[in-house]
Structure 1
Amino acid sequence: MQCFVEADLSAWTTLGVPARAKELLVLEDETDLARWFERRESAPMPELVLGGGSNVVFLEDFAGRVVRLAIRGRELLGEEGGARFVRAAAGEPWDGFVRWCVTQGWGGLENLAAIPGSVGAVPVQNVGAYGLEVSERIAWVEGMDRDTGQTWRFSGNECGFGYRTSRFKAAEASSRVITAVVFRLAGDEPPRLEYPDLQRWFGGRAQRVSPADVYAAVREIRARKLPDPRVQGNVGSFFKNPLVSPEVAERLAAIHPDLPRHPQPDGRVKLAAGWMIERCGLKGVREGGAMVHERQALVLCNAGGATGADFLALARRVRETVAERFGVRLEVEPVLVGREGVVQRLT
C-alpha cells in the first residue's frame, strides 16, 4: 500500500483539475484492504473511493482520504450453459480487460471498447455505449463493507441497474466497496450491431463480423468523435441523455422535428442531450479553462488550466441554456466532489 500526504490529485483523474486530498492511499494487493482498515481506525476522516478517475470532478480540495483501488487480476471462472463466467478485479483498466476478452475470442463486451476507467467503476454508472449497457453482461458483483469488513455479493438482478445508475450510487451504499465483477459472456450470441454508427460501419457484413472487428470499429469511431483524455482532459459525457414522458417528447418534436428521440422499454423517451447543447450554440463555449468540446457537445474538456470551479460554472451555464430553450433539465453524469465529499446536486 502506498500512502501520500497532502496529495495532488490532478494526475489521478482524467480531467486533470488541480485539487488536493489530506491523504491518498493506493491499494495494489488484496492484503492492502486490511491495512486500509487499520488506517481508518487509527486516523478517521472523510473518505472517497476512487477507481480510474475517469468519472469524477473535484470542485475543490478534498478534506479527507482518497482511496485508489488498483488491485489487478482477471480469470475465467468456468463455463455453464454455453456461457463463460469471467472475473476481473476492480482495479483492472476497463479497456484492457475488454481487449483481453476479445483476444481470447470471448465476445460480449466489445461494444464498450475504449471507455476509460476501471472495472470496479463500470457497474456504478451502468456504463453503456453503442447499443449495449454493461448490466446486460454482469453475472454478479463482489465487494465488502468498509465499515464492518464483511464481504457481500449481489447478482446482476440485485444491483438495481437503470440508465446510468445502480444501487451503488445511492447514499446508503456509501460503505460498499466493489472489489471484483463477474461477467457472463454467451458463446453463441451474434454481434450487437443495431447502433447507427455500427450499421454504417459494417453495412451488410453482419454475418462475417467478429468481436475483434467490433472492438476495432468502436475504438476508431470513438477516436473520431471524442477527445482522448490523455491528450485533452475530460470525463467523457458530462450530461446524461434526459428521459422524458411521451407527451413531452411529442411537444418538443412538434417544435424541433429533427430532435433525436428513442422510446424506452418503460414508456419514457430518451432525448439526445448533445444535440440540444449543440442547437443552443454552445460548442466551443468556455468558462475559464473549461470548454464545451468543439466536435462533441456532450463533452466538457480541460482546454488548459481549468479548475473545478470552471467546470461547475460551465455545467450550470449549459444546463440553464438548455432548460430555457427546450424546457428540459439536464443531469450531470460524473461524480462531483466538494470539500467534504460527494455533492449530490448541481445547484
Structure 2
Amino acid sequence: MQIQSNFSLRNFNTFGLESLASFFAEVRSVGELTEILLDPVWHETPKFILGGGSNVLFTQNVNALVIHPAIKGIDKIREDEDHVWLKVGAGESWHGFVMHCVESNYGGVENLSLIPGTVGAAPMQNIGAYGVEIRDVVESVETVSIEDGQKKVFSNKECAFGYRESVFKKALKNQFVVTGVTFVLNKKPAINVGYGDVQKTLAEMNVSDPTIADVSQAIITIRRSKLPDPAQIGNAGSFFKNPEIPLEQYNPLKNAFPEMPGYPVGETMVKVPAGWLIEQAGWKGYRQGAIGVHQKQALVLVNYGGGNGNEIRDLAGTIQDSVEAKYGIRLSPEVNFV
C-alpha cells in the first residue's frame, strides 16, 4: 500500500475539479484499511473517505489523509427459493453491480441502473431513482471504525435510512468506513414501472411484458437522454434533493401555480420536483464561463472544463435564493461540499 502526498483528486470526482489531498491511500482490503487506521504515524491525521467522487463538490484542497476504498468482490453468500444474498465490496462500481444482478436475473436494483459511484457510497446516501431506494434491498452494511479500527456491522434498521440520508451522514458522520454491503435480491423479480417515463420508453422499445433487463435498458436510455456523461461534462448528477413540503404549504402554491407537480408522501407531505422549480425560476441552460446549469436537466449543475468548486457553490446558492424568492421553498443540496 502506497501513501502519496500532494495527490491530485481531479480524476477522483465526477465534477472534474482540481483539489490536492495532503496524503492519499488506496486500500484494497479490510486488512489494509485497518493497518493504516491503526498506524501511529497516521492515527492523529484527519481522515477523508472518498469513493467514486460522484457526490462531492471540492471547494478547496483536502488537508487530510484521503482513503479510497477499492475493496472488490461480488459473492453469493446464501439463497433460498425466492431470494439471493450477495455480499459486495465497497470498491465495486455501483452500475457494474447492477449489471451483474440484471444478467443473473436478480431483481431489486434494476431501477437504479447507470447511477455513478461505488457500492460503498450507496448506503451512505441511500441512493434512489424511479421508485426504488437502496434501503429496499440492503440487509446489512459492514464497516470499520476510523477511530479504533474495529469492525462493525449495521443492520438495515441501524442504518436509519431516510430520503438521501443515513446514519452515516448524520449521527455517525465521518466515524466509519464502509467496506462491504450485503443485499437481498429477488429470484422472482417484481417489475416496478410506475414512472411515466419508464412506461413511455418501454412502449417505444415495443416491450409490453418487460423483464428486469428491459427495465434496466429503459432507465439507461432515459438517463443518457437527460443527464450528461461525467466523462464528457463534469457533473454530480442531481445537485439538489426534491423538497418535501407540508400539504398546507403545497395547496396555496398549487393554486398560484397550477402547473406545479406534486407527489404525495404519506398523508401530510408533498414532494415537489426540484428540477421543475429551478427550470421555472429561469435557470435551465444558464451558463457563466466554465460552469452552468445543464440545458436538458435543470437539476444538474455542470463544469464544462476549467471551473472551480467555489463557482459552482456560489451558483447553487444563487439558485436556492431564486427558487425561495419565487416559491418560498428552500432547496437542499444532495451533493456534499468539501
Scaled by the length of structure 2, the TM-score of the pair is 0.95
Alpha-carbon RMSD: 1.7
Q: Note closer, same or farther for the CA distance 1:69–1:139 as it changes in structure 2 (3 Å cut).
A: same
Report what 1:215 is aligned to.
Answer: 216
- 3-state SS of the aligned residue for 1:114? coil
Alpha-carbon distance in structure 1 between the residues aligned to 2:156 and 2:266: 18
Deviation at residue 47 of structure 1 after TM alignment: 1.4
Q: Which residue of 2 aligns with 1:342?
A: none
1:89-131 CA-to-partner distances (Å, cap 9, x unmatched) read 1000000010011111212111000000000100111100011
Residue 192 of structure 1 aligns to which amino acid in structure 2? N
Partner of 1:184: 184
Structure 1 residue runs without a partner (length 5+) = 338-347
Aligned to 2:316: 315
What corresponds to 1:286 in structure 2?
287
Aligned to 2:161: 161
Aligned-partner residue type, residue 6 of structure 1:
N
Alignment partner, residue 77 of structure 1: 77
Question: Counterpart in 2 of 1:273?
Answer: 274
Q: Which amino acid aligns with 1:220?
A: T
Structure 1 residue 95 corresponds to structure 2 residue 95: yes
Distance 1:143 1:19 in 2: 27
Local SS of the residue matching 1:31? helix
Distance in structure 2 (CA, Å) of the matches to 1:40 and 1:122: 30
Shift in Å, 1:287: 4.2
CA contact (8 A) 2:81 2:187 kept: no
8 Å contact from structure 1 (residues 288, 310) kept in 2: no
Shift of 1:43: 6.0
Q: Deviations over 1:227-267 (max 9, x none)?
A: 00111110000000001000111111111111110101263
Question: Deviations 1:170-198 (Å, cap 9, x if unpaired)?
Answer: 15332111111111112223211101111
Q: Which residue of 1 aligns with 2:170?
A: 170
Task: Using the TM superposition, give the Cα deviation of residue 64 of structure 1 relative to its aligned residue in structure 2, in angstroms.
Answer: 1.3
SS at match of 1:237: coil
1:182-220 deviation per Cα after TM superposition (whole angstroms, max 9, x unaligned): 111122232111011112123498872111111111111
Shift of 1:299: 0.2
Q: Give per-residue Cα distances to partners, 1:304-346, cap 9 Å, x unaligned.
A: 2110111111101110110111110000001111xxxxxxxxx
Normalized against structure 1, the TM-score is what? 0.93
Offset, 1:42: 4.0
Structure 2 partner of 1:127: 127
2:248 corresponds in structure 1 to 247
In 2, Cα distance between equivalents of 1:52 and 1:35 = 22
Give the match for residue 66 of structure 1: 66
* Larger deviation, residues 302-311 vs 166-175: 166-175
Structure 1 range deviating more: 184-193 or 235-244: 184-193
User: More deviation in 315-324 or 24-33?
Assistant: 24-33
Contact 2:38 2:148 in 1 (8 A): no
The list of structure 1 runs, each at least 4 consecutive aligned residues, that deviate by more than 6 angstroms after superposition, is 204-207
Cα 1:168/1:22, change in 2 over 3 Å? same
Aligned counterparts of 1:40 and 1:132: Cα–Cα separation in 2: 43
Partner of 2:3: 3
Q: CA deviation at 1:286?
A: 3.1
Alpha-carbon shift at residue 40 of structure 1 (Å): 5.8
What amino acid sits opposite 1:72 in the alignment? K
Aligned to 1:29: 29
Letter in 2 for 1:104: S
**Aligned partner letter, 1:65:** L
Taking structure 1 as reference, are residues 266 and 123 closer, same or farther at Cα in structure 2, changes over 3 Å only? farther
Q: Is the 8 A contact 1:21 1:63 kept in 2?
A: yes
CA distance in 2, matches of 1:195, 1:321: 29
The unaligned stretches of length 5 or more in structure 2 are none
Q: Which moved more, 1:314-323 or 1:24-33?
A: 24-33
Letter in 2 for 1:138: V
Check whether the contact 1:83–1:184 (CA below 8 A) recurs between aligned residues: yes
Which amino acid in the other structure matches residue 177 of structure 2?
V
How many percent identity over aligned positions?
Answer: 38
Structure 2 distance, partners of 1:206, 1:85, is 29
* CA contact 2:36–2:42 (8 Å) conserved in 1: no
TM-superposed deviation, 1:283: 1.4
How many matched pairs?
337
In 1, distance between residues paired with 2:30 and 2:281? 48
Amino acid at match of 1:124: M
Please list, as runs of the form range in 1=range in 2, the aligned pairs for 1:297-316 lying within 5 A after superposition. Answer: 297-316=298-317
C-alpha distance in 2, partners of 1:61/1:228? 25
- AA in 2 matched with 1:170: K
Q: Is the 8 A contact 2:102 2:212 kept in 1?
A: yes
